[in-house]
Structure 1
Amino acid sequence: MTKPFEFCKPVSKQAVPTGPDWIHEVKYDGYRGRVIRHGDAVQVRSKAGLDLTYRYPMIVEAARMIRAKQFIVDGEICVMDVRGISQFDWLHSGKYNDDAQLYAFDIIALDGDDLRGLELEQRKSKLAKILERRPQGIFVAPFERGDIGPQLFEVACDMELEGIVSKHLKRGYRPKLCDWVKVKNRSHPAFSRVADQFG
């Protein structure tokens, strides 16, 4: 297997960034994960490096159906309700492992090439291409661009979502200098989980 890369982790902020070079994605409430394929071998890895391959068969099968034979895709492992909203408790219970999907928002390696130095806009294009006819189990994160971020955050809160993540389109995948910003819905259960964890 390809040596694992360090994850790029969004920084918490109070305000959503705006401008033409920023994009905004819904923040799904799940487990951060990475799907690694090398030939016929597929792994699903957690942020802590745990091997979750055996737990999420639909994600693994979807990865095997993609035409590219070597890639590393970054995303969030989620279990969705009928409204398309991620349910952390369902995922955490382990009772819905067969229904878990990957909300894919980045690609950092493809066909032997390390893509971390490319701008996010270029990586997004490559990700969309390999998942163009995506099988069920992995879906591309939709995003909005520019000054719409604050309004999108309000909509996310109204829909009882966890929040949004904003990313600069002209930056590489830089874990040490991450250009990703997360703004959380303070009324969402995830906000309380973090507050309880850190007191």
Structure 2
Amino acid sequence: MEPKLFRVPPKGDDWIHEVKQDGYRTQVIKDRDGIRLFTKRGYDWTGRFAELAGEARAINAESFILEGETIKINATGLADFNALQKAVGTGRARDIYLVAFDLIHLNGKDLRDDPVERRREILQGLIPAGNRIQFSEAMPGTGDAVFHLVDMAGVEGMVSKRKGSRYRSGPTTDWHKVKCFQSKTLDIIGVQRDPGQAVRVLMADKGRYVGAAIVNFKHDQRQRLWEQVQGLTGAPPPKELKKEKAQWLRPGLVGEVETLKGEEKLRHASLKRAWRQ
């Protein structure tokens, strides 16, 4: 079940609000074949998440399918996606957690038609205390109040779930996600145009490459950007980006980028405007 992205949280009292953890969506299955962990795309990562597989054995049930987000915590106590990627890249991630938020099957019973509140209530009762598999607590208050808190805390965002909703695989408006973004002004050092993909600008902060941002400009803005780019092409690629295929630019073009809050490098970033210095 995939939440739809919105710019603002839903209003009213018909919603449950949770912190959106920054990690890998994970499904934990226990059946006659044992315990297995799968990613959102269906990859079997039981071996990579062996620590969590061991923790799942403490859940007192004959069989279950639960869902959550696998995360790794940084020194400030927040989920750190970059640290999780590095840990997974070693082949077996250590010191990771799974924040469980939904229960789909339990002891042979299909729970997908149960209201989300009931599924979460049963799930909370299953999760042992002190385990690396933890329950995703609902946050009290209105959607606006919760979003203000998560924005101030520096987490990725929030997910709101419509009370009484059933579990249905695929995109849904019964779940809303709202992400916390911030604006940054950065140097544009290159432009990538790959067939069938959105145009991207490559960005640097004080000479250090920080990632790419998608260009979603309307025609007149896009044309103005290309005119600014043409006067600066021909620069050599930075050492760390020599393998990248791009138009490299001399200094002089900067852009305002909207990107996920609290990240060292750009994530889910888009270019909002650009200008010559």
| Same fold (TM > 0.5) | yes
Q: Contact conserved, 2:51 with 2:94, CA < 8 A, in 1?
A: yes
TM alignment of 1:121-160, pairs within 5 A: 121-131=117-127, 133-145=128-140, 148-160=142-154
Deviation of the 1:40 alpha carbon: 6.7
Q: Kindly tell me: are residues 148 and 45 of structure 1, through their superposed partners in 2, closer, same or farther at Cα, counting changes over 3 Å?
A: same
Higher strand share: 2
Q: Which residue identity does 2:21 align to in structure 1?
A: Y
TM alignment of 1:5-20, pairs within 5 A: 8-20=1-13
Aligned to 1:50: 43
Deviation of the 1:135 alpha carbon: 4.7
- Return the TM-score normalized by structure 2: 0.63
User: Structure 2 unaligned runs (5+)?
Assistant: 183-260, 271-277
Task: Name which one, 1 or 2, has greater alpha-carbon Rg.
Answer: 2
Q: 2:175 aligns with which of 177, 180, 191?
A: 180
Give runs of ≥4 in structure 1 deviating > 4 Å. none
Q: Which has the higher contact order (CA 8 A, sep 6+)?
A: 1
C-alpha separation between the residues in 2 aligned to 1:21 and 1:38?
A: 34
**SS in structure 1 of the partner of residue 60 of structure 2:** coil
**SS in structure 1 of the partner of residue 267 of structure 2:** helix
- Return the TM-score normalized by structure 1: 0.87
Q: Contact conserved, 2:8 with 2:178, CA < 8 A, in 1?
A: yes
**SS in structure 1 of the partner of residue 83 of structure 2:** helix
Deviation of the 1:176 alpha carbon: 4.3
Residue identity (%): 34
The total of aligned residue pairs comes to 187
Q: Which residue identity does 1:21 align to in structure 2?
A: D
Deviation of the 1:191 alpha carbon: 10
C-alpha separation between the residues in 2 aligned to 1:185 and 1:191?
A: 15
Aligned to 1:71: 64
RMSD across aligned C-alpha pairs, in angstroms? 2.0
- Per-residue CA deviations over 1:140-187 (Å, capped at 9, x if unaligned) read 001125x52211111111111101000012110022462100000012
User: Structure 1 unaligned runs (5+)?
Assistant: 1-7
C-alpha separation between the residues in 1 aligned to 2:23 and 2:47?
A: 17
Higher helix share: 1
